[in-house]
């Protein structure tokens, strides 16, 4: 079966044929499983290793694949690299409109040993899964050679079984945007919620739809209370007082009007749009929102703050961002190494911030005057990034995340009690881990 063919109907949102979209899950099952069935067993243990020195004598073409390039950062980096390198040409191929679609497309190519893409832009949460399948070239030597230019927390997102499987390209951490004329800069979650409840226009909006974003919003609070999902040994630790406290706190916030009930339908963009209407005091979102907010009437009245701490505790966010992973089936590994070298240089990392409003993985960039001019909240952002923790590291992360967002959603929407949700979360995460 040809594995390089375009998307399956079920995933391809641009498919023109309605029938194809409505095609039974059976059909999708067949096509998909037909692809997965033939792969040869191969684990993370036997993976080949990227040679850091190889980048110097690289030549040829490098194809980088990933999600739709909304900010232009991927294409821009590829062009700049081609110009700077001279010997290697880089090209960016968009293979999915959303993160979910891109993952589906990448998995399909990796399972089928496609040689189409040399590098994949991978979400930080995909590392363990991809590495565990033997799909990636191990980058330990490369990462160690570049380590002094990378923020440690961002490097952690590329780790699986004590090896590194990707290089961080840009990072991401949640921020609080607040209306300076209405509400105070948040120091603690408790204070933020109390301020938000004070007046009708002070409310807080975040991402509360049943999806990955809710997992992130929940974990940001859970981590700041000191709770966790898995401990260092990988044991399930979600059944805790901390989890209960956070769930009760979030539910109470929806009841007393601190947070608008509409957040139950919000992912990133609707939350941003609601906030832009001026009817809210606080918004939790990613750094890219800064640039967009500046183009609205709120431009002069909003402030940016790192995520607050739990009362009496320490602030701790959740790390997002994108890494560069070399496909195990790449035909130009040296070219891929050269590209990673370029993309992580302190100089290019400044451009990541200045030209594309993304968070650099190089610490020095945050204090660069040119960066600060374009990104005045760089100091707050760095604080958020350095304090942030990765999401649970596991090859079955998608299942773990589902267990979290489905049950958190059930509590927030009032269809389950905190107690029921905590127990189900623990059970489902345990079951998910057992499936690996």
Partner 1 sequence: MATRTISPSRGPAKTSGRDRAERRLALRMTAPSLVIMALVAAVPIGYAIWLSLNQYSVRTAGLSRFVGLENYINALASQEWWAAFGQTLLFAGLSVSLELILGTAMALLLNLAFKGRAVLRTVVLLPYAIITVVSAITWQTMFQPNMGLVTNVLSMLGLPGGDVVWLGEHGYAMAVIVMADVWKTTPFAALIILAGLQVISAETYEAAELDGASKWQTFVNITLPLLRPAIVLAAIFRTMDALRVFDLPFVLTRGANGTESMSMLAYTQLRENRLVGEGSALSILTFLTVMVVSVIYVRFAGGNIRDVAKEEQ
- Sequence-separated (6 or more) residues with CB below 8 Å from residue 248: 418
Choose which of 395, 421, 425, 426 interacts with partner 1 (CB under 8 A).
395
Is 22 a binder of partner 1 (CB under 8 A)? Answer: yes
Choose which of 2, 33, 57, 232 interacts with partner 1 (CB under 8 A).
33
Stretch that binds partner 1, among 37-45, 54-62, 75-83, 297-305 (CB under 8 A): 37-45
Nearer to partner 1, 5 or 436 (CB): 436
Choose which of 58, 216, 396, 416 interacts with partner 1 (CB under 8 A).
396
Nearer to partner 1, 89 or 413 (CB): 413
Is 402 a binder of partner 1 (CB under 8 A)? Answer: yes
Please state the closest distance from residue 44 (CB atom) to partner 1, in A: 10
Measured CA to CA in angstroms, residue 127 lies from 107, 123, 339, 381, 433 at distances of 12, 8, 19, 23, 16
Q: Which two tokens stand for residue 22?
A: 């409505």
Q: Between 191 and 230, how does the x/- string for binding to partner 1 read (CB under 8 A)? A: ------------------xxx-------------------
Measured CA to CA in angstroms, residue 158 lies from 42, 52, 172, 176, 279 at distances of 19, 16, 14, 26, 39
Nearer to partner 1, 132 or 333 (CB): 132
Is 56 a binder of partner 1 (CB under 8 A)? Answer: no
Q: Which two tokens stand for residue 60?
A: 């040829």
Instruction: Report residue 197: phi and psi, to 5°.
Output: -85, -15
Stretch that binds partner 1, among 27-35, 67-75, 158-166, 241-249 (CB under 8 A): 27-35
The DSSP letter of residue 205 is E
Show the beta-strand stretches assigned E in 328-383. Answer: none
Region at 412 (left for phi over 0; alpha for psi -120 to 50; beta for the rest) = alpha
Among 253, 128, 266, 255, residue whose Cα is nearest residue 208: 266
Is 399 a binder of partner 1 (CB under 8 A)? Answer: yes
Query: What's the rounded Cα separation, in Å, for the pair 34 and 41?
Result: 15
Choose which of 15, 184, 230, 372 interacts with partner 1 (CB under 8 A).
15
Residues near partner 1 (CB under 8 A), total:
59
- Identify the H or E element spanning 97: none
Q: Which two tokens stand for residue 400?
A: 């773990």
Choose which of 4, 5, 42, 46 interacts with partner 1 (CB under 8 A).
42
Classify residue 266 as exposed, middle or buried by CB count within 10 Å of its CB (0-12, 13-18, 19+): buried
Is 295 a binder of partner 1 (CB under 8 A)? Answer: no
Query: What number of helices (H) and strands (E) belong to the chain?
Result: 18, 11
Is 233 a binder of partner 1 (CB under 8 A)? Answer: no
Stretch that binds partner 1, among 227-235, 288-296, 377-385, 405-413 (CB under 8 A): 405-413
Stretch that binds partner 1, among 55-63, 67-75, 306-314, 407-415 (CB under 8 A): 407-415
Query: What's the rounded Cα separation, in Å, for the pair 320 and 150?
Result: 15
Nearer to partner 1, 26 or 299 (CB): 26
Is 257 a binder of partner 1 (CB under 8 A)? Answer: no
Residue with tokens 């009708």: 200
Nearer to partner 1, 32 or 324 (CB): 32
Nearer to partner 1, 143 or 412 (CB): 412
Torsional sign, CA 104, 109, 110, 111? positive
Q: Render 47-99 in DSSP notation, one character per residue.
A: --B--GGGGGG--EEEEEEEE--SSSHHHHHHHHHHHHHSSEEEEEEEEESSH
Which residues of the shown chain bind partner 1 in the complex (CB under 8 A)?
10-11, 13, 15-16, 18, 21-34, 36-43, 100, 104, 107, 111, 132-134, 209-211, 260-262, 264-265, 270, 273-274, 277, 279, 395-396, 398-399, 402, 406, 409, 413, 415, 435-436
């Amino acid at each position: 079966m040809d594995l390089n063919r375009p998307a399956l109907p079920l995933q391809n949102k641009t498919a023109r044929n309605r029938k194809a979209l409505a095609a039974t899950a059976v059909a999708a099952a067949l096509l998909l499983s037909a692809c997965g069935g033939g792969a040869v067993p191969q684990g993370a243990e036997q993976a080949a290793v990227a040679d850091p020195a190889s980048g110097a004598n690289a030549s040829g073409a490098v194809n980088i694949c990933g999600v739709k390039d909304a900010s232009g950062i991927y294409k821009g980096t590829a062009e700049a690299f081609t110009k700077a390198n001279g010997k290697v040409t880089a090209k960016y191929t968009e293979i999915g409109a959303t993160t979910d679609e891109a993952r589906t497309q990448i998995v399909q190519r990796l399972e089928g040993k496609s040689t189409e893409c040399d590098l994949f832009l991978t979400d930080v949460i995909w590392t363990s899964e991809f590495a565990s399948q033997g799909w990636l070239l191990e980058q330990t030597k490369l990462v160690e050679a570049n380590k002094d230019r990378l923020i440690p927390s961002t490097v952690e997102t590329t780790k699986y079984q004590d090896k590194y499987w990707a290089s961080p390209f840009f990072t991401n951490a949640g921020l609080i945007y607040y209306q300076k004329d209405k509400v105070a800069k948040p120091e603690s979650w408790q204070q933020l919620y109390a301020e938000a409840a004070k007046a009708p226009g002070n409310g807080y909006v975040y991402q509360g739809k049943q999806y990955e974003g809710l997992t992130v919003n929940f974990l940001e609070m859970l981590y700041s209370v000191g709770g966790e999902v898995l401990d260092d040994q990988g044991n399930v630790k979600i059944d805790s007082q901390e989890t209960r406290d956070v769930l009760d706190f979030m539910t109470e916030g929806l009841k007393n009007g601190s947070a608008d009930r509409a957040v139950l339908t919000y992912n990133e963009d609707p939350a941003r749009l609601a906030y832009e209407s001026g009817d809210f005091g606080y918004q939790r979102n990613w750094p890219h929102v800064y640039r967009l907010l500046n183009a609205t009437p709120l431009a002069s009245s909003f402030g940016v703050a790192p995520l607050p701490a739990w009362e009496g505790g320490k602030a701790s966010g959740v790390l997002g961002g994108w890494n560069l992973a070399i496909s195990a089936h790449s035909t130009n590994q040296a070219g891929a190494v050269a590209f990673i070298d370029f993309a992580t240089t302190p100089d290019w990392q400044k451009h990541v911030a200045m030209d594309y409003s993304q968070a650099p993985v190089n610490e020095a960039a945050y204090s660069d005057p040119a960066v600060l001019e374009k990104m005045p909240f760089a100091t707050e952002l760095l604080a958020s990034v350095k304090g942030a923790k990765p999401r649970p590291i596991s090859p079955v992360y998608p299942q773990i995340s589902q267990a979290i967002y489905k049950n958190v959603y059930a509590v927030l929407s009032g269809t389950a009690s905190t107690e029921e949700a905590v127990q189900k979360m623990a059970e489902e995460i345990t079951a998910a881990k057992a499936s690996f």
